[in-house]
Chains A and B, each alone.
Chain A
Amino acid sequence: MSKKVIVLGEVRDGALRNVSFEAIAAAKRISGGGEVVGVLIGDSVQGLGQELIQYGADRVVAVEHPHLKHYTSDGFGQAYMAVHEQEEPEAIVFGHTALGKDLSPKIAAKLQSGLVSDVTEIEGEGDDAVFIRPIYSGKAFEKVKINEGQVFVTVRPNNIEPLEQDAGRSGDVSTVSADIQNLRSVVKDVVTKATDGVDMSEAKVIVAGGRGVKGPEGFEPLKELADLLGGAIGASRGACDADYCDYSLQIGQTGKVVTPDLYIAAGISGAIQHLAGMSNSKVIVAINKDPEANIFKVADYGIVGDLFEVIPLLIEEIKQLKVNA
């Protein structure tokens, strides 16, 4: 049986996040030929509706309200439920982002439904869809199905291929009005500290440093390389514990779990907890002085050497490549 599926489009700095397009692709699979409805929530988001449609949504419903300028679980919860009650979907897909992780359990609790978080792959489609998700931070995977009731999943960024954008596709973008009130959390301040807005969970390239960077300034060449490749900076627990960088950069079993296309580990020995957070990256490059370092066991390409020699050479070489290209 085909299903009507709602996809939450996530907006950051006025633009749709990639994970929203990936979520639409996931929704298509789950729908088994049914309708895919995009939902946009914010203070001014309606204009992004056509883009969701170009990536595969059939139509879009937007909820706009001044109280939705900043995300709060109460505000976005009320806005989402207004759409949900109108549309009565059989399935829901969110991105497994900070917002999706925060909001989805609230909605699931309201709907008394199951929720499959952090899905990396979908097998089958429609009623037969089964969901694959990492457990033990990627040391293992489980395959789950939803027994009864609402299908509700969040998809991990960077894992499900989005559909190709089709500029010729168009559809209806409508609005639903919602009373957004009694917000119990008030956002007072937001301090942005991520490098140039490239978020680790969505980054195609991550350059990560460990104890081998020797100090906060040791991250500078890594940042330069990451910027050059349009990527983000990450770190091992060792580097965070030594105060070389902020804990928000930590990758591992405690910390973020990432799956970029390219992961460059510089001065990281490769403790099992760190490997859990990054070993499912598509291509791994290890740079370490110690040829016996564990990180080489999971690396596709390794260079035994001092990162402070290798990284600058790498930066030069990639610059060259860009000039020639």
Chain B
Amino acid sequence: MNIYALVKRTFDTEEKISVQNGQIAEDGAEFIINPYDEYAVEEAIRVRDEHGGEVTVLTIGSEEAEKQLRTALAMGADKAVLINTEDDLDELDEFGAATIIAEYLKDKEADLILAGNVAIDGGSGQVGPRVAELIGINYVTTITELKIDGDKATVVRDVEGDSETIEAQLPLLVTAQQGLNDPRYPSLPGIMKAKKKPLEELELDDIDLDEDDVEVKVERVDVFLPPEKQAGRVLEGDLQDQVKELVQLLRTEAKVI
């Protein structure tokens, strides 16, 4: 099977976010593979191990994203592709990202494409389904189970807590929800091998795209932090009285019950 996993380099979930000059400050931050994309990479490797074939991990970004691609290779992916937009683009929205990925994938005859259902930075969850639509294949989002049988996939999706079982033909794009699997840590031999695995670097030119083709439709005009939450009141006294006071406060002060 010809399998692709789409990944994004994101801030570590431990990071505090700060704003400098109207942008999110990146100095000194730790970066990781977006956790939902990590499920996608893990699932891609498992499907390949069971059914044969090859896993290619794909990302858009700068040179720095090579680190996350090498991590995916160390987990067990076979090849990596970095579409480097650093010199061409200052900003990229979901429309642009999907256009680039679809342009790259359109003649690759992928059987299965996996992505995270959402990235923990931008949080829009658009790119996966957009790519599927652009290259004309079916998709299923927020999956927690995937079984492949011949050219048929049986998928369980998380729909706001309900589980929906869906049958779909390949080629298919799926987006990973938490619970799909437990991503492995790269082993030491895996890390050594990853250094020698092929990593192809492309620019927009190489996939016949122009900056104008991916000009942003949605423009960020400001970034700000939510107002610092003030620590409230820790109640005191006998537990029974605390609970009475709490219910009173919720009723009369906060007016939420």
State whether A136 touches B218 (Cβ < 8 A). Answer: no
State whether A117 touches B166 (Cβ < 8 A). Answer: no
Query: What does the 1/0 interface line of B213-257 toward A look like (CB < 8 Å)?
Result: 001111111111110010111110001101110110111001011
Residue numbers in A under 8 Å from B162 (CB-CB): 190-194
Query: Closest CB-CB distance, A93 to chain B, in whole Å?
Result: 15
Beta-carbon nearest neighbor of B234 in chain A: A302
Residue numbers in B under 8 Å from A279 (CB-CB): 226, 229
Complex CA gap A114/B142 in Å reads 22
Tell me which of B123, B125, B144 contacts A137 (CB under 8 A).
B123
Query: Closest CB-CB distance, A70 to chain B, in whole Å?
Result: 8
- Interface locus among B60-68, B131-139, B190-198, B204-212: B131-139
Residue numbers in A under 8 Å from B93 (CB-CB): 114
**In the complex, how many residues of chain B place their beta carbon closer than 8 angstroms to a beta carbon of chain A?**
80
Beta-carbon nearest neighbor of A114 in chain B: B217
Q: Give the number of A-B contacts (CB < 8 Å).
A: 266
Complex CA gap A283/B257 in Å reads 11
Tell me which of A190, A282, A299, A303 contacts B242 (CB under 8 A).
A303
Beta-carbon nearest neighbor of A304 in chain B: B234
State whether B234 touches A114 (Cβ < 8 A). Answer: no
Q: Is the interface of A mostly helix, strand, loop or mixed?
A: mixed
Beta-carbon nearest neighbor of A195 in chain B: B161
Complex CA gap A9/B140 in Å reads 22
Tell me which of B13, B122, B177, B232 contacts A299 (CB under 8 A).
B232
Beta-carbon nearest neighbor of A287 in chain B: B246
State whether B168 touches A114 (Cβ < 8 A). Answer: no
Residue numbers in B under 8 Å from A250 (CB-CB): 178
CB contacts under 8 Å to A, within B90-144, are 93-95, 98, 120-130, 132-134, 138-142, 144
Residue numbers in B under 8 Å from A73 (CB-CB): 129, 138-139
State whether B158 touches A248 (Cβ < 8 A). Answer: yes
CB contacts under 8 Å to B, within A3-29, are none
- Quick check: is B179 within 8 A (CB to CB) of the other chain? yes
Query: Closest CB-CB distance, B253 to chain A, in whole Å?
Result: 9
- Quick check: is B165 within 8 A (CB to CB) of the other chain? yes
Residue numbers in A under 8 Å from B133 (CB-CB): 105-106, 109-110
Q: With A105-B125, A302-B233 in contact, is A187–B164 under 8 Å at CB? A: yes
- Interface locus among A30-38, A47-55, A197-205: A197-205
Beta-carbon nearest neighbor of A297 in chain B: B231
State whether B138 touches A184 (Cβ < 8 A). Answer: yes
Beta-carbon nearest neighbor of A313 in chain B: B243
How many chain A residues sit at the interface, stated as a range, is 35 or more
Complex CA gap A313/B250 in Å reads 15
State whether A140 touches B224 (Cβ < 8 A). Answer: yes
Complex CA gap A148/B161 in Å reads 36
Complex CA gap A186/B166 in Å reads 5
State whether B94 touches A115 (Cβ < 8 A). Answer: yes
Residue numbers in A under 8 Å from B257 (CB-CB): 205, 229, 262, 318, 321
18 additional A-B residue pairs with CB within 8 Å, beyond A105-B130, A317-B246 = A73-B129, A98-B142, A98-B160, A105-B133, A112-B95, A115-B95, A139-B16, A139-B226, A141-B225, A142-B222, A147-B219, A185-B138, A190-B162, A191-B162, A249-B161, A253-B13, A298-B231, A313-B240
A-B contact list, 18 entries, CB within 8 Å? A105-B94, A105-B129, A105-B133, A108-B94, A115-B124, A135-B223, A142-B224, A147-B219, A185-B168, A199-B160, A246-B161, A247-B178, A255-B178, A272-B13, A272-B14, A301-B232, A303-B235, A304-B234
Binding site for A on B (CB under 8 A): 11, 13-14, 16-17, 19, 24, 35-36, 93-95, 98, 120-130, 132-134, 138-142, 144, 154, 158-169, 177-179, 215-226, 229, 231-235, 239-240, 242-244, 246-247, 249-251, 254, 256-257
